[in-house]
Amino acid sequence: MDKQIIVGITGASGVAYALRLLDCLEEAGCHVHLVVSALGRRLLGDEGDVHALTAENLIGRPSERLYFYDFDDLHCRLASGSFLTDGMVICPCSSNTLGAVAAGRADNLLTRAAMVTLKEARRLILVHREIPLSPIDLENMLRLSRAGAIICPAAPAFYTNPRTIDDLIDFLVGKILDLLSIDHALKNRWLG
Ligand SMILES: Cc1cc2nc3c(=O)[nH]c(=O)nc-3n(C[C@H](O)[C@H](O)[C@H](O)COP(=O)(O)O)c2cc1C
């Protein structure tokens, strides 16, 4: 069966990672359920030139596998564990959302879906981006890691000899796809 993946986009820098992730997940045949915070929408415009949430704007083509949800709609299927998914990625993940999930807050669809993912013991991947990290961020990460989440900082490596920004983006997106057990051909491996 095709995978069902929730993607949350929050107001951290790095929406280019999210756009490539959506592209790759959709291309891999996944059903992608997208929730974007208010600040995520602002940064999609500022950094990604995406001013309206449509498949064409996000991945450059129409899609029947990309589903859009209202950030405030706590009454929709993603708010319940009865809707079966294969996991959730928050990419990029702000310190604000990191802290909200670590505190168990569920007052918007993005954090509620994250809480559901954790309680159902499904894959929750937080692609956090902020530097430097405060002790509060670090404690939130440890708390979430102990609760079963995967903290995957937006920190691409250089052992693949990246030449372009796209190479760096692909490295990180390849890592996220690996964590979701989704096949891909992105260049992110050290082959010795
Ligand atoms: C241009 C810009 C870049 C930002 N980059 C980051 C970032 O990289 N990491 C972060 O934690 N917050 C960042 N912020 C701050 C968050 O957007 C802010 O904390 C917001 O409350 C996050 O809300 P959300 O978690 O609901 O998206 C940035 C804000 C702006 C305006």
pLDDT digits (tens, 9 = 90+) for 98-151: 999 999 999 999 999 999 999 999 999 999 999 999 999 999 999 999 999 999
**Residue 40 beta carbon below 6 angstroms from any ligand 1 atom:** yes
Task: Compute, in angstroms, the gap from residue 40 CA to the centroid of ligand 1.
Answer: 8
CB 143 within 8 A of CB 172: no
Q: What pLDDT, on the 0 to 100 scale, is given for residue 192? A: 87
Supply 151's token pair.
């903290």
Tell me the whole-structure pTM to 2 decimals.
0.98
**Residue 39 beta carbon below 6 angstroms from any ligand 1 atom:** yes
Check whether the bond before 132 is cis (ω within 30° of 0): yes
> If you ran DSSP here, which 8-state letter would residue 136 be given?
H
Distances (CA, A) of 165 to 18, 56, 130, 151, 162: 14, 22, 18, 22, 8
Q: How much is the mean pLDDT over the chain?
A: 97
pLDDT tens digits, 161-179: 999 999 999 999 999 999 9
Homologous superfamily assigned to 4-179: Flavin prenyltransferase-like (3.40.50.1950)
Q: How far, in Å, CA of 76 to CA of 78, rounded?
A: 6
Q: How far, in Å, CA of 58 to CA of 163, rounded?
A: 24
Task: Compute, in angstroms, the gap from residue 190 CA to the centroid of ligand 1.
Answer: 32
Tell me which of 13, 72, 105, 134 to substitute to probe ligand 1's pocket, judged by most ligand atoms within 8 Å of the beta carbon: 13
Q: What pLDDT, on the 0 to 100 scale, is given for residue 1? A: 73
The secondary structure of 82-115 as a DSSP string is TS--S-EEEEEE-HHHHHHHHTT--SSHHHHHHH
SS3 54: coil
SS3 7: strand
Q: Domain-by-domain residue ranges, the chain?
A: 4-179
Q: Whose CA is nearest to atom 21 of ligand 1?
A: 96
